[in-house]
Amino acid sequence: MIWNWQHKDWPNFKYNQKHILDLEKNFVKNSGILLGAAKYLSEADQNNLIVMLASR
């Protein structure tokens, strides 16, 4: 995968907005599930989860 500014038509490149929208909806849904579940973890477990997710 290349960065946006590496595309030959940058900054006028085209993309599939529908594809991005579907990915965004999926991200928002899964983020909400994760935040809801994390609320029941101890502070130490929440911090460990943050470190684990950030290091992936």
Domain segments of the chain as ranges: 14-54
Residues 8-50: pLDDT tens digits? 889 997 888 988 999 999 999 999 998 899 899 999 999 998 8
What per-residue confidence (pLDDT) applies to 56? Answer: 86
pTM of the model: 0.55
The residue among 24, 37, 17, 56 whose CA lies nearest residue 46 is: 37
Count CB neighbours of 49 within 10 A. Answer: 14
Site of tokens 């991005």: 20
Place 7 in a pLDDT band, splitting at 50, 70 and 90: confident
Across residues 2-13, what is the average pLDDT? 89
Which residues lie below 8 Å from residue 7, measured CB to CB, with a gap of 6+?
13
